[in-house]
Each structure stands twice: as C-alpha cells, then as structure tokens.
Chains A and B, each alone.
Chain A
Amino acid sequence: MDPSAYVILSGILFSIGALGVLLRRNAIVVFMSVELMLNSANLAFVAFARMHGNLDGQVIAFFVMIVAAAEVVVGLAILMTIFRTRRSASVDEPSLLRN
C-alpha cells in the first residue's frame, strides 16, 4: 500500500489543526487543534518511517505523544487558573501584557 496517502492525510489534518488554532477563540478547542496538529505530525513520521524502512520516525512519534501529554497537563492547568480568575476560556482575553 502506498504510504504517500498517509502523508497527504497528515497534511490535511495539520492544516485543519492550524486553522483551528488561528480561527477559534475557545482555549479548549485551540488545545484540541494543537493536539490534532501534533498527531498529524505523528502520522507523517510513521508514514515516512514506513517509506524509508527504518524505525526512527516511529520512535520519534512516541516521543511526540509523551511531550503532547505533558503539554496538555501544563496547558490545561494554566487554562483552569485563567478560567477561575476570568470566568472565560477565550484566548483573546488575556492580552494584558500588550502595553
């Protein structure tokens, strides 16, 4: 089976994720989009590993999963505190560093 279809799928998923990050205001959705982007990258790694016939890409995919898990933990913790102080999960609200 031709793995290039997975690469194209990975590209489509990445674009959807990127658009989600850019267009959505809700922090939860943004997080989900980020996860989507990370996982599209994983898919690409695995596909390339298959194409080149070695395991490097597959190993890196595991690393990415672990990093993504850690990132979600930290990110959700920040999100919780922001939600507690502001009663909102919008990413546009906390722009106080602006001036």
Chain B
Amino acid sequence: MISLASTILSTSDEEPAVEPITAVVSAAEAGGLFEWFWLLIAFPVFGMLVLLIGGRRTNAWGHLLGTAVVLVPFGIGVALLIDMMGRAEDQRSVVLHMWDWTIAGNFTADMALRLDPLSMVFVLLITGVGSLIHIYSIGYMSHDPDRRKFFGFLNLFIAAMLLLVLANNYLLLYVGWEGVGLASYLLVGFWQYKNSAAVAAKKAFVMNRVGDVGLSLGIMLMFVTFGSVAFEEVFAAAGEADGTVVTLIGLALLLAATGKSAQYPLQAWLLDAMEGPTPVSALIHAATMVTAGVYLIVRSNALFDLAPIALNVVLVVGVVTMVAGAVIGCANDDLKKSLAGSTMSQIGYMFTAAGLGPAGYVFAIFHLLMHGMFKADLFLSAGSVMHNMNDQLNMRRFGALRTVMIVTTGTFFAGFLGITGVPPFDSFFSKDDIIKSALSQNWLAGIATIFAAGLTAFYMTRQLSMTFFGKKRWTQDVKPKESPPVMTVPMIFLSAGALFGGLTMVYLFNLQEWLTPITGFTPGELPIPDWAVEVITIATLAIGVTLAWRQYATRDVPETPPVNVTPLTVAARKSLYADAINEGLFMRPGQHLTRFLVWFDNRGVDGIVRGTASGVSGLSNRLKLLQNGYARSYALTMVVGVLVIAAIFIVSRWV
C-alpha cells in the first residue's frame, strides 16, 4: 500500500507491475475443505427454506436459526482463508464443478463455483458483516410480528449474494444477481402496508431491471463472441476478439453495475430504498449488494483492460456519482437518506478506482471492504438512534443524543473516523490509495477525489453534530435510551472494523499482495510527492470538518429547514432532481407513448380489423339481395351475363 506510513517506513517505494494469474485448480486437486465450500451457500439456503416453508411454527426460534446459518459459513470462510493463505499464489483459485447445469446445443453453463482471493474477501465480508447484522436484527426486529419472515428473506439475500460472488460463469452470477435483487425488493418492501415502502420497493426493482438488461445483453454478447460464458474461457478468448465487441460487452456490464450499485444514471432508487428496515439498509444497501457492481467490474478486469473506452466511462460514472452523492449527503435532513447519499458517493470512489484500470482495481476492493465495515457501523448506529426515537429520522429533531446514548455515539463516531479518513483509520488508507492512484492516472479525477473527501468530512460532521451534539430538539413524545446489548455488541464489533480494518489490511494481511494475482497491478507515477498529497487531503478534511462543525454544532440548528438558501442546497435537498429528471425524461414520455399506443391500437389496429369485418358483412348484405328466390330474376341475371360476355367478345374482336 502506498501510504504515509509506508513512505516513511520503507526504503524503496518501487512496486513492480503484476500480471494477473489465470491458472485455476479443481476442488478435487485442492482437496480438504475446498471440496466442501459449496456449504457456504447451502447453509443460508437451508435456513431460508426452513423459515419460509416452516411458517409460523418456526416463529419461536426462527431468528436464532437464521443467524446460525450465517455464522457457520463465516466460520467455514475463516477456515478456508487460513487454508488459502498457506497455498502458493497460483494454487489459490479453486473451481468446484458440481454438475452440468444448462446444456442447449453448443451452449453450456456449469453449476461451478470459484473460490479465489477476490471471492474469498467477499465471502468474509458478506458472512462477517452479515452475521453481525443478523444478530443486531434480533434486537431491532424484536417487536415485529414477522421477524421470522424477515430472517428468511435475509438468509435468501446471503445465499444469493454468496452465489453471486462464488459463481464461476456469468450465467450463474446472473442468478445470484437477480437473487439479491429479489431479496432487496422483498426487504425494502418488508413493511409493505406503508405505501411509501411498497412504492420504494417497486422503484428499486424496476430501476434494477434496467441495469439487468445490460447484464443479460453482456452475457449474450459473450456467448456469441466467445462461445462460452465461463470466466476462464471468456477472459482467455477476450484478447483475440474484436475490440469493439469487447467495448460493447464492457459497457453492457457497466450498465448492469450502475443499476445494482446506484451509480448515475440509475442512482435514484437508493434514497427511497431507505424505507426498508435499517438492518437491510446496512447489509444490502450499504455493505454488500450495492457493491456488487464493483465486484462485477473488477471480476471482469480482463475484459475492461482490453476496452479502454468502457474503462473511461466507468471512471466518468464514478467521478460524477462520487461528487453528486456527496452533495446530496450534505443537504438531506433525513439521517438514513444522508447516509445513502454517502453510500452512493463512496461507491463512486470505488468506481473511480476501478475506472483507473489495473492501477486501481485493488484499491476499489480495498475501499469496498472498508466501506462495508464503516458504513454498516454507521447504519446500525443510525438504526439504534431511530429505534429509540420512535422511528424518527429527521436530524433537525435530534441533537444532544450523546447524553443518553453513549455507546451509539461512540460507534457512530468510530464510523465517522472510518469514513472521513482521519489517520490512521479505515479510509485514511483506502481513500488515500484511490486519491493517489487517481492523481497518477488522471489529475482531474484525482482533484475530484480530494474534493469529494472534503465533502465527505462535511456531511459526516454535519450528521454527527446534528444528531449527537448541540442542543436537544426532540419532539415531545420521545424518551431516548441506549439500545439493548444484542444491538450494541454488533455495533461495537463493526466499530472495531471501522477503526482498525485499514491497519489490519495494510500491515497484517497485505490485501494488495493478496488480490493482485487476480486483478493485476500497475503502479503509477505521482506528479507531486506522496507527502504533499497527504497534506492536501488532510487539509481538505479539516476544512470540511470545521465548516460543518461551525454551522451545525456551535450554532443552533433550526427545527425546520431554512428557506432562504442557495440554489445548490435546494437542488441537493431534492436529490439533484433525480426524480424530476426520471419523470420528465422517462415517465411522462413513457405515459404519452402508452397513451398513443392505446389510441393506435383502438383506432389503427382494431380499426383495420373491425373495418374489414364490417366491410365484408356490408358487402354480403348487398349480395344477399341478389338471392331473392325469384326464378325469373335469376334468368334475367343469366341473360345480362350472357349479353355482357357477348359484348366483351364483340368488342375484343373489333379492337
């Protein structure tokens, strides 16, 4: 890792470029636990089936089973990690072929799972953060009569997400991709009796479908071009393929990634998705599912390396969302929505890093891991606040909660340190790496990352001071107290992750060395010295923190949002008019198109059909008159007919 500490400690800063290793070993060769890693998925599937089929009979112990079937895979994951660490670098990608799944003509897709260093870190993130959030949910959902169903859906999510990251071909990945979309839909709309939740679930589902079209197009293009959808075969064949096709595949995959990861232009669903229960926001809409887009891009690095145009589009999408998400986060008074804006922004960082190509893939995953921990921590802390404030989320009615919720304040503060990048906590390492990598590849993107870091510091300080500091602005009916240990303990674990995750990943685990065999790595040349970058970044952070602290902690915060504000604030409060744009660009024209089509169907298509029918029946009514039953009129017809024929003969003779 390039970081302040390593600059000082290490004598040589020269890092060699690393080419990805493509070799895989089969699970049978790898032996041991690797033959059994399908259990990672089997456990949550089992939990889901028991909870959803068992129904009300499992109410009493359903939440415990639901938690256990995620904890066990976490244990398996840790054991697998230890096993994998003891192997040589080219022996770490293990493929487990379970059965032939789809065979149609020359199209085959196997039920095959792949565990390599990249999916390994995802498995640990999903099951680790997932377990903590399951435990938290036991307390958070304790008053909900449908808690068992909630755990069933969470298990479904964990299973689908693990399938997504463990799949060894794009078709199987697609199954997991749709599975997490389904789980997200079910969980956002978990309180579907609230209209807003039902609408938000539908919105998330529909916008995700738009992205999924991209994934299915990408898979079809891959099959047409390479004749296969398996990772190894696609990546091996990509080099010989036509560059335009590879670019198209890259763009299709990017469309899928923007939908799932709430990046521009498919970002608008994420803020509404906050209608779901807070553990869902923490697990699905912060730590895991929304980062699936980053996984997809990094996993497909062999394709993106060959498609510089697609990679540049990834970079643009990332930079735009990084800044826009942060701006939204700065103005929203809803604690969870402000955090959702922050999620968009942080995933924008990951996209930015991924868009830098081999120089940034590793840092995208590094930041993804860090984000999984600090953002889950922040969301769970926000949930703890919400839980004790009668489900209110308006930060203008919070304030001074540090006096009554000391643990929650601590965990939120840990998340704050993790996300803003104060040395030596999580983002200090991961975000710095992204900033430096961006500066070395593209100075514009680099400046944007520094600017967004300042915005991050601003909105996080704003949230922290409006919620926990300042004066009490509570509504009359709330009596906040600290949450029970079943909620606070997972929060404390995640805070530890938010505080020390970065240090661990850099000095104990060395994530970069771990991942580069999969992603490859090219070091960049910084235009200015390392220390200068760090000084500028930290100065930007300090400015952000100071501005927000002066505005929201030392001055009184009005209970209603002030109206005489800048146009930028107005726009940011409305999420930069995302809904208005979607309505104006897609919904209204869509409705007009529908109306026109209905009109055209009624008048045009039906008109032709009905016109033909009435024409035929009118004609037959006329013809019917000839059949009057009078023999003499038939005779007349015959005579006329004969005369006509005779006339034609005569005339044709003349001519």
Question: Which B residues between 559 and 594 are near A, CB-CB below 8 angstroms?
Answer: none
Q: Contact between A22 and B635 (Cβ–Cβ < 8 Å)?
A: yes
State whether A95 and B629 are in contact (beta carbons under 8 Å apart), knowing that A18-B639, A22-B639 are contacts in the complex.
Answer: yes
Counting chain B residues whose Cβ lies within 8 A of the other chain, the interface size class is under 10
Question: Which B residues between 614 and 646 are near A, CB-CB below 8 angstroms?
Answer: 627-632, 635-636, 639
A72 to B6, CA, bound (A): 125
Interfacial chain B residues near A98, Cβ < 8 Å: 627-629
A11 to B627, CA, bound (A): 30
Question: Which B residues between 146 and 200 are near A, CB-CB below 8 angstroms?
Answer: none
Nearest CB in chain A: distance from B636 CB, A: 6
Q: Contact between B635 and A92 (Cβ–Cβ < 8 Å)?
A: no
Nearest CB in chain B: distance from A11 CB, A: 12
Interfacial chain A residues near B627, Cβ < 8 Å: 98
Interfacial chain B residues near A5, Cβ < 8 Å: none
Interfacial chain A residues near B639, Cβ < 8 Å: 18, 22
A49 to B136, CA, bound (A): 118
Q: Contact between B629 and A96 (Cβ–Cβ < 8 Å)?
A: yes
Nearest CB in chain A: distance from B640 CB, A: 10
A92 to B628, CA, bound (A): 10
Question: Which A residues between 7 and 41 are near B, CB-CB below 8 angstroms?
Answer: 18, 21-23, 25, 30
Q: Contact between A92 and B636 (Cβ–Cβ < 8 Å)?
A: no
Q: Contact between B629 and A91 (Cβ–Cβ < 8 Å)?
A: no
A97 within 8 A of B: yes
Q: Contact between B628 and A91 (Cβ–Cβ < 8 Å)?
A: no
Counting chain A residues whose Cβ lies within 8 A of the other chain, the interface size class is 10 to 19
Nearest CB in chain B: distance from A83 CB, A: 15
Q: Which residue of chain A is the closest to B642 with respect to CB atoms?
A: A18
Nearest CB in chain B: distance from A21 CB, A: 5
- Candidates B628, B629, B632; contact of A22 at CB < 8 Å: B632
Q: Contact between B628 and A21 (Cβ–Cβ < 8 Å)?
A: no
Q: Contact between A95 and B632 (Cβ–Cβ < 8 Å)?
A: no
Q: Contact between B628 and A95 (Cβ–Cβ < 8 Å)?
A: yes
- Candidates A21, A30, A95; contact of B630 at CB < 8 Å: A95
- Candidates A21, A25, A30, A97; contact of B629 at CB < 8 Å: A97
Interfacial chain A residues near B628, Cβ < 8 Å: 95, 98
A51 to B490, CA, bound (A): 124
Nearest CB in chain A: distance from B638 CB, A: 9
Interfacial chain B residues near A96, Cβ < 8 Å: 629
Question: Which A residues between 52 and 99 are near B, CB-CB below 8 angstroms?
Answer: 91-92, 94-98
A18 to B629, CA, bound (A): 19
Interfacial chain B residues near A23, Cβ < 8 Å: 632
Interfacial chain A residues near B632, Cβ < 8 Å: 21-23, 25, 30, 91-92
Q: Contact between A22 and B636 (Cβ–Cβ < 8 Å)?
A: yes
Nearest CB in chain A: distance from B620 CB, A: 14
Q: Which residue of chain B is the closest to A91 with respect to CB atoms?
A: B631
Q: Which residue of chain B is the closest to A98 with respect to CB atoms?
A: B629
Question: Which B residues between 297 and 349 are near A, CB-CB below 8 angstroms?
Answer: none
Interfacial chain B residues near A91, Cβ < 8 Å: 630-632
Interfacial chain A residues near B631, Cβ < 8 Å: 91-92, 94
A61 to B630, CA, bound (A): 30
Interfacial chain B residues near A97, Cβ < 8 Å: 629
Interfacial chain B residues near A18, Cβ < 8 Å: 639
Interfacial chain A residues near B630, Cβ < 8 Å: 91-92, 95
Interfacial chain B residues near A21, Cβ < 8 Å: 632, 635
Q: Which residue of chain A is the closest to B624 with respect to CB atoms?
A: A99
Nearest CB in chain A: distance from B240 CB, A: 78
Which among B635, B636, B639 has the greatest number of chain A C-beta atoms within 10 A? Answer: B635
Which among A25, A94, A95 has the greatest number of chain B C-beta atoms within 10 A? Answer: A95
Interfacial chain B residues near A22, Cβ < 8 Å: 632, 635-636, 639
A30 to B635, CA, bound (A): 11
15 A-B contacts, Cβ less than 8 Å apart? A21-B635, A22-B632, A22-B635, A25-B632, A91-B630, A91-B631, A92-B630, A92-B631, A92-B632, A94-B629, A95-B628, A96-B629, A97-B629, A98-B627, A98-B629
Residues of B within 8 A of A (CB): 627-632, 635-636, 639
Q: A91-B632, A92-B631, A94-B631 are in contact. List 5 more A-B contacts (CB 8 A).
A: A22-B635, A92-B630, A94-B629, A95-B630, A97-B629
Q: Sort A-B residue pairs by CB-CB distance and give the 9 closest, nearest first.
A: A95-B629, A98-B629, A91-B631, A21-B635, A97-B629, A22-B636, A95-B630, A92-B630, A22-B632
